[in-house]
Structure 1
């Protein structure tokens, strides 16, 4: 069985534009690239320049100098996301041709996947994904997340210093998601690296994609004869009748979509909590909950700043641009979130406002957003509650990022704190679906307070990290 998603027969069906006739009707010379050191170092500056020059939609080039349109306005993004009859997710509508080894092949060649389908096919596939995600035991998964964070923190808590990106954020999402999917024989970090690489349009993106697919095909073969209580088994059993390839593609999508976005959300939420005085004060004073704080981060630092891709079904006017049938349209999530028409004052708090674009919108809105936010919420609660006197060990200006054309990954978040004597919770099997959690097991609990203090459990008042944050101002 071939596992490559880059079979040319599965790719775009449109003919390449004739010579001298770029996809968006403009001479490619002088058009801004969304990728490369200059563009990726300060994307907001680029978005502002494009907005000033072109309005709410701008012509751009993406890796491999593939031509596309970038939507910069909040309203324009919603129009594209909410109108699949005008802007299709099916890359067979694409009017440019790229080869199977192209760095964008893993995310632009059509696959049997919800984010490449429209209409009835999309409804069938999405029903399978939403149904199996609904089977996840909420209390069980929160308990699993809590234990996973505890285990990560236990490695460095006695040292009094850590890097919250490399030691927590980059590990946690895949530890949780690989268990949910049903993978127990491949290191979570190896899966996370492959998922991040295939989204970045790097020269190794195709190889990373093949590794992930090989792993998932092996998983599906195992689950067909030895099913368990996991997403892979449930997709195989679902009444939608998914073929093996469809199951594999959706498992890959779940891992890829949940990993890098959640890593970025955790990293940036912790960064803001440790570097922004007003943010800390609102958290510490109780006027902002952790879920509200995450909304603020999702407005200002969305985990994905560019969402590929939609394809114009026919000639259409968007903003002031004449878009031709088959043109690639990219949703500028970060640009739309700072649209001056809806946010004239970027310093205003956005906590509690969930009209950001971070989870997309319309029929393709992220079905796993609740799970991703839960992972981030529990991680932040446990880390801040369990590490006394937590302080960042660099100024915010010294923090570096590894940007790509679709996202920006915080490289490091060094912190210092009073060393903690760790009491590790015994490892045990925790139900991630099906049966309810036993009553004596709290859904969330921070188990890294100073040794002389009892561990806070669900239902008790907010832990003392709220007060400690105030003292750090």
Structure 2
């Protein structure tokens, strides 16, 4: 049986999905970490069937046979994301409605214009840290930090928590040997936040959850903060990085956007179809013996939703190379009652942040060949390890900032003066690329 973990699976997950589809059809038997058996749902219609029938496929992981029989131990790499917790993603029915209702109401109170203003300011702060250098890594210095900067503010957390939370979140989602410890760091950070907001409430998501009429306990609030923080961080960081990569490398995209046929929101949706932030989601668990696409599913079996594979299902998308304009029928945010409630906030953070970056750095170009870009993959996520770029160096808006977060989340010390590299250290882009970026910048300013 094929493993969904390990070097071979992580090297080319998209290729693996297509091989499994060829061998088994829209539902394939696979092995998870520790060789725990599961079913990978590859088909678009089959994924919707699973997400829309909780009576057959529950989100409650206590149905999982391997968990009941003790094979998912406390130190198992999947324990942080699969062990049942008092949060809406592990519930169905009335319990789900109570928890999900509190989350929905809290998200609905966000000031969308306020989010965009804050994200624009955060993006400009990040650009200030590296704009004098003429080069940057847009993953380690931008995409990975912008969502956490935005979310810490929305949750009412001190900004200095951001860098360590970025590292812990990535580690936890990769299912590494230190994933359990990283999860504990996140939990302890949020535990302290909830305790503080009980006595010092504010205009933030944490306070709104504590004050919600459903009467959530401190533990319920903490667990939902973890859910929102981790999901928003990972999905939005990947969405920003993948969209920027598309802007810099995809000829079809550049021609379409420069010609006015594709807006930046359209580009974001294209990326959500082609490279969704979560490539799979674990999971659903069968409540009874049933059948799915001809495969015999037994009660207690685990199912992994193959979101990336479902988006590439030719049964609903015959021409995979054709651009998709304004179509949100993708499964990047799952489907059914558990579809991501914060997807519009994620879109706002990604779109606003990219907009601000492109306006500050209109001659941005890729500093390496596209073939040199590398990815890191895990069961649920596939993300760029770096996105090296170059641009014309210029002084930051805040001159004291010359060194920002590096790939490890560390921040350099403010310098007394800014030294702008000589032109030879920051090669100018080609005339063709510069002209395209100028058209894009003008379009963004007009829209």
Task: Identify the residue that residue 246 of structure 1 maps to in structure 2.
Answer: 220
TM-score (norm 1): 0.83
User: Of 119, 123, 137, which residue of structure 2 is paired with 1:149?
Assistant: 123
Distance 1:468 1:43 in 2: 38
Q: Indicate conservation of the 8 Å contact 2:362/2:441, yes or no.
A: no
User: Of 54, 57, 76, which residue of structure 1 is paired with 2:24?
Assistant: 54
Q: Indicate conservation of the 8 Å contact 2:358/2:441, yes or no.
A: no
Q: Indicate conservation of the 8 Å contact 1:384/1:465, yes or no.
A: no
Task: Identify the residue that residue 389 of structure 2 maps to in structure 1.
Answer: 415
Distance 1:199 1:156 in 2: 28
Q: Indicate conservation of the 8 Å contact 2:156/2:204, yes or no.
A: yes
Task: Identify the residue that residue 332 of structure 2 maps to in structure 1.
Answer: 358
TM-score (norm 2): 0.88
**1:270-319 Cα distance to aligned partner (Å, 9 max, x none):** 00100011101111222111111001000100011011110011011100
Distance 1:396 1:185 in 2: 34
- Does residue 159 in structure 1 map to residue 159 in structure 2? no
Q: Which runs of 5+ in 2 are unaligned?
A: 401-436
- Does residue 79 in structure 1 map to residue 53 in structure 2? no
**1:29-83 Cα distance to aligned partner (Å, 9 max, x none):** xx00011111111112111111111111001011121210000000000000111
Distance 1:104 1:297 in 2: 27
Q: Which moved more, 1:184-193 or 1:41-50?
A: 184-193
User: Of 232, 235, 244, which residue of structure 2 is paired with 1:258?
Assistant: 232
Task: Identify the residue that residue 117 of structure 1 maps to in structure 2.
Answer: 91
Q: CA deviation at 1:161?
A: 1.2
Q: Which has the higher helix share?
A: 2
User: Of 214, 230, 234, which residue of structure 1 is paired with 2:208?
Assistant: 234
Q: CA deviation at 1:89?
A: 0.2
Paired residue total: 405
Taking only aligned residues, the RMSD between alpha carbons, in angstroms, comes to 1.8
Q: Give 1:454-465 correspondences, 5 Å limit.
A: 464-465=438-439
Task: Identify the residue that residue 102 of structure 2 maps to in structure 1.
Answer: 128
SS in 1 for 2:271: helix
Q: Which runs of 5+ in 1 are unaligned?
A: 1-30, 427-462
User: Of 270, 274, 277, which residue of structure 1 is paired with 2:244?
Assistant: 270
**1:195-234 Cα distance to aligned partner (Å, 9 max, x none):** 1211221111111111111111111111111111111111
Distance 2:250 2:359 in 1: 18
Task: Identify the residue that residue 437 of structure 1 maps to in structure 2.
Answer: none
Structure 1 residue runs of 4+, over 4 Å off? none
Q: CA deviation at 1:158?
A: 1.8
Q: Indicate conservation of the 8 Å contact 2:278/2:307, yes or no.
A: yes
Task: Identify the residue that residue 39 of structure 2 maps to in structure 1.
Answer: 69
